[in-house]
A and B are shown apart, each in its own frame.
Chain A
Amino acid sequence: MAVSALDESVLVERDGPIAILTLNNPARRNAFALPVRQAFLVRLRELMVVEDPCRAIVVTGSGNCFCSGGDISEMKQRTPLEFRQRNQLVLDIYKLMVSGPKPVVAAVEGFAIGAGLSLAAASDYVVTADNARYSAGFVKVGLLPDTGLFWTLSQKVGAGRARELILLASDFDGRKAHEIGLANQLVGAGQTLPAALEVARRLIAMPPLAMAMMKAALADGCATLERAYETEINLQPILRRSADHKEAVKAFLEKRKPVFTGE
């Protein structure tokens, strides 16, 4: 896919080892239209799994708006096969966010509706503006939640609350998002990006290999107690041989800050 043509709809900026991924279609409140999804997936994949020096990703939207969900204007009739192909895009985005090796922090201002809510819920950490507006939206347009929301929302807010939010598609604000455990941090309007960058700075101080393995374990390795043990046994002995673990132990004994390399 030619990235140059997509450059404007999703922006990538850098703050040292932190990449800021910005949905940039403010005229449509950053609707998750097809070209935006394509650009988002390309950018996300570059940052996550193609060799890239970034160590943490902040996802946000331009024009004080996160993402208003699917673009209704492009919801025309297609064959089920065409729809499956379109859905594969958001599935790939969700998978990369949840199980990719680098932590993702969402900075949510304005609307996080439908797929916008899904993107927030698929992030590892959510900073919300108190006046942000959330809704699962999907059922109101006759659709099911997508972009992984079935799994991520109930994980974050519990099954009872997730059912309520999905079945009624009710609106809720940033305060409520924080209260029910969807958002980790509540800040004033306009303050989410600096707060998210602050969290990202703490995340990049962590050892990259352990971070990557932890994300993999949380995504697909702890559904049952037995599975959690297996995950530990498969991953932890490898980490014990890592340079970062040795460096951390050495730094601890020498009472200094460790320097991690990812090896």
Chain B
Amino acid sequence: MSDSLLDFAPVTRHGRVCVVTMSYPERRNAFSTPMRESLVARLEHLMFEDVECRAVVLTGAAGTFCAGGDLSEMKERPIVDGRQVFDLARAVVRLLATGPKPVVAAVEGHAFGAGLSLACATDYIVATPATKFCAAFLKVGLIPDTGIFWTLPKRVGASKARELMMLATEVGGEEALRIGLVNQLADQGAAVAAAVKVAEAMARQPREALAYLRVALGQGSETPDGALRAEVDYGAALRRDRLIQTSSFQG
């Protein structure tokens, strides 16, 4: 991948917290193909290779989060080729939702369409009273995507999720907090600072336990059996790590 692609998602460091900023201001940080490529490359590195990084903040440049898919690049493709386009988006969601390190979204301005999906795939959302959220997909003749069929009902319940997706209603920051879409409101312009604070608190948690927790929540706990299996498998692995680390526990 060329450096120019990475420019769509530059990273800044705040100690153990890395801030990934979606930067495509002329299209309000649209989730375009180069944006998806940059995010996959950046997140893969931060999640799996960068040992200094312990938590990630995802945000957008120029006072807005992400306006969703890039309508200007939605050209007509054969259906079979259209399927492949989703691989990158899926990789981004998978990294955000089940990668080993916690992710906090700092959402100012707009989080529309796939922008809302990206925020929903994180562990914790900080917004401002002026932030606007919208599952705008249906308005352009599409169904919701980028994982939101699963992530939004988890946050706000099936009833509200259906309403937001079927009517493509715009939701402001205050309402987003009330319905459980957002975890915290910050002052306008201060979402990243607040998100970094939350991410720092998460970065202080035990690294392995956080990684297993995220996998269990993202993949393991859909059924009673799955939840128990996650407890038994991951719990056992963590206890074993602890025993090795703390010799006084042995015997």
Q: Please give the residue numbers on chain A whose beta carbons come within 8 Å of chain B beta carbons, in ascending order.
A: 103, 124-126, 152, 155-158, 181-184, 199, 202-203, 206-207, 209-211, 213-214, 217-218, 221-229, 231-242, 244-249, 252-253, 258, 260
Contacts and interface: CB of A to CB of B under 8 A. Distances in A.
Contacts of A202: 167
A210 to B, nearest CB: 5
Interface residues of B, number: 45
A246 B75 CA distance: 9
B22 to A, nearest CB: 20
Q: Chain B contact residues: over half helix, strand or loop, or mixed? A: helix
B141 A225 contact: no
A236 to B, nearest CB: 5
Contact of A237 (B79, B94, B158): B79
A97 B146 CA distance: 26
Given A225-B150, A229-B90, A207 B138 contact: yes
A121 to B, nearest CB: 9
B141 A224 contact: no
Interface in B198-251: 218-219, 222
Given A183-B159, A225-B97, A260-B141, 4 more contacts: A218-B162, A228-B149, A229-B147, A241-B79
Interface of B: 71, 74, 76-77, 79-83, 85-86, 90, 93-94, 97-98, 137-151, 153, 157-160, 162-163, 165-168, 218-219, 222
B86 A236 contact: yes
B27 to A, nearest CB: 13
A233 to B, nearest CB: 5
Contact of B86 (A227, A229, A249, A253): A229
Contacts of B219: 224-226
A211 B138 contact: yes
Contacts of A157: 157, 159
A245 B140 contact: yes
A177 B215 CA distance: 34
Given A155-B158, A241-B82, A210 B149 contact: no
Contacts of B79: 237-238, 240-241
A181 B159 CA distance: 6
A236 B149 contact: no
Given A203-B166, A225-B219, A248 B143 contact: no
A218 B153 CA distance: 10
19 contacts: A124-B163, A184-B160, A218-B165, A221-B149, A222-B149, A222-B150, A225-B93, A225-B151, A225-B219, A229-B147, A233-B83, A234-B83, A236-B82, A236-B145, A238-B82, A240-B77, A241-B82, A245-B142, A246-B141
Contacts of A244: 141
Contacts of A156: 157-159
Contacts of A182: 159
Given A181-B157, A213-B143, A225-B147, A240 B71 contact: no
A158 B158 CA distance: 9
A226 B148 CA distance: 11
A233 B71 CA distance: 18
Give the residue among B138, B147, B153, B165 with the most A Cβ atoms within 10 A: B138
Nearest to A216: B143
Given A125-B163, A237-B79, A241-B79, A227 B139 contact: no
Nearest to A185: B163
A214 B82 contact: no
A205 to B, nearest CB: 9
A213 B137 CA distance: 12
A184 B158 CA distance: 11
B76 A155 contact: no
7 tightest Cβ-Cβ pairs between the two chains A and B:
A237-B82, A245-B141, A155-B158, A222-B149, A228-B150, A244-B141, A248-B140
A252 B140 contact: yes
B45 to A, nearest CB: 22
A227 to B, nearest CB: 7
